[in-house]
Amino acid sequence: MLEQATTGLSAQEARDIAREAYVFGLPLVEHYRLFAMTFRPESPQFRPADQFLHFSRLSTPEDREVVSPNNDTLYSVAALDLRGGPVVLETPELNGRYFCNQLVDITTNNLPYIGTRATGTAPGRFVVSGPDWTGQLPESLKDATVIRSDSWFVAALLRVGVDGPKDLAAAAPLQRRFKATPLHVFSEQPAPALPDVSWLPYFDDKADTSLKAFEYINFMMQWHRFSEAERPLLARLARVGVRPGESFDSKSLPPDLRDAMLEGVREARESIQQRPTLHQGWELPDPKVGEFGDDYALRARVAWNYLYANSPAEALYPITHLDAAGRPLDGARARYVLRFPKEAIPPVRFFWSLTAYDAKSHMLVENDIHRYSLGDRSRTLRRSEDGSISFFLQGTPPEAARQSNWLPVPSAPFYLLLRLYGPTGSALQGRYVPPAVEALSD
């Protein structure tokens, strides 16, 4: 089938289309990890669809399911299978505590939010349906909000705010009261019979430079109803064998086309990792994050660097890999300070934090004091007399007076994520720019 699809294709066309297909499909491959974690029997987190898996502790370097995890909230994840009908999400009374339930379709676009900002902290029921559902809600759900998806599988990513480790005892019981239940349970109907899905083995696309990613792109594409506007693009991708639900065996390609497609993948990976315009070294979130439209390049960059980024109204994630001189942040080369003048402290409705990540693994940084982030809720954080806040970024402990504001970094390249939950003012308007990271001279 793949050999037939590429008949009459020149090497240049194969290269160009492979580059386009990789950029288009990378988020689907990154997103696949969550579904593999849920549905692959050998996974430690294996569980049925439509059930939350609650992680009742804050993320550490040992947690490697998603890139750039936060250390501010408890995570819960559920893979919703909408092929047989909607799934009902139930939220408890949160008494003002921050939470958000982020619903992500197959393409990594966000659906309407459930959470403190969007829907409040009172108890509620929300019905998530797939693209082909036309049924009726039972009387018990007549007041429920319906959220429609263009995907038959949706990730529900729940975050419950935690005010440090001492708050876990109060937050964890609330977290466990969030539920996902198939609609047929409320309708008192038997579960629909659904064909089994053979979920592919776990795949680390970042470490792989072959054409294997296209197997996963094809697999994931079958679970999404693409728009009419995307039909010309899909027809073009089909010319290199990128088609929803079809197998992809690169060994069946003529050698010249296979080499051309490999070059297209290499170019795509380079383009995805290119930095956009920077502001004082920071990459500022694009207002289209989470609702990407046809900006597939942005969608791929976000998936590569911080999969499951919130939409800007919910949270903003400025990111920097550079110091004020434009040099890559590297804990083996320098010590750093990030100083927020009083007037430049992040403007938020809820809270903000700063987190360091290893640039190679995209994971939290292992350190002896088990400190992975600092922010406005950190009990150790100290302000200067002028109201400013300085973060000291280094691998070894600073002098005693600075240790309260010390954020450990690796003796290797790293990057920083500043998270603003519920951005307000200049941040919400896209005008807020964090200060530059300064290298300290010995």
How are strands ordered across the β-sheet holding 99-104?
53-55, 73-81, 153-161, 99-104, 114-115
Domain covering 41-186: architecture: Sandwich (2.60)
Domain covering 2-33+199-272: architecture: Orthogonal Bundle (1.10)
What is the model's pTM? 0.90
Please list the pLDDT of the chain residue by residue as tens digits (442 residues): 566 566 689 999 999 999 999 999 999 999 998 999 899 999 888 999 999 999 999 999 998 777 888 999 999 999 999 999 999 999 999 999 999 999 999 999 999 999 999 999 999 999 999 999 999 999 999 999 999 999 999 999 999 999 988 899 999 999 999 999 999 999 999 999 999 999 999 888 777 889 999 999 999 999 999 999 999 999 999 999 999 999 999 999 999 999 999 999 999 999 999 878 899 999 998 999 999 999 999 999 999 988 898 999 999 999 999 999 999 999 999 999 999 999 999 999 999 999 999 999 999 999 999 999 999 999 999 999 999 999 999 999 999 999 999 999 999 999 999 999 999 999 999 899 999 999 998 6
Q: What is the pLDDT at residue 3?
A: 60
In 3D, which of 59, 112, 58, 116 has the Cα closest to residue 91?
A: 116
- Give Cα separations from 17 to 22, 25, 208, 220 (angstroms): 8, 12, 19, 18
> Which stretch of DSSP H or E encloses residue 417?
strand 414-423
Rounded-to-integer distance, Cα 219 and Cα 152, Å: 13
Angle, nearest 10°, between helix axes 296-306 and 11-39? Answer: 40
In the structure, how many helices (H) and strands (E) does the chain have?
9, 19
Q: What single letter denotes the amino acid at residue 131?
A: P
| 421 HSE (CA, 13 A, CB side) | 23
Domain residue ranges in the chain: 2-33+199-272, 41-186, 282-440
In 3D, which of 113, 18, 22 has the Cα closest to residue 303?
A: 22
Assess whether the region 2-33+199-272 and the region 41-186 belong to the same CATH fold: no
Q: Which residues contact 6 (CB under 8 A, 6 or more apart)?
A: 14, 239, 240, 241, 253, 254, 257
Q: What is the pLDDT at residue 442?
A: 63
CATH of domain 282-440: 2.60.120.1600
The dihedrals phi and psi of 35, each to the nearest 5 degrees, come to -70, -35
Contact between residue 174 and residue 157 where contact means Cβ atoms under 8 Å apart:
no
Tokens representing 406 are: 């010390």
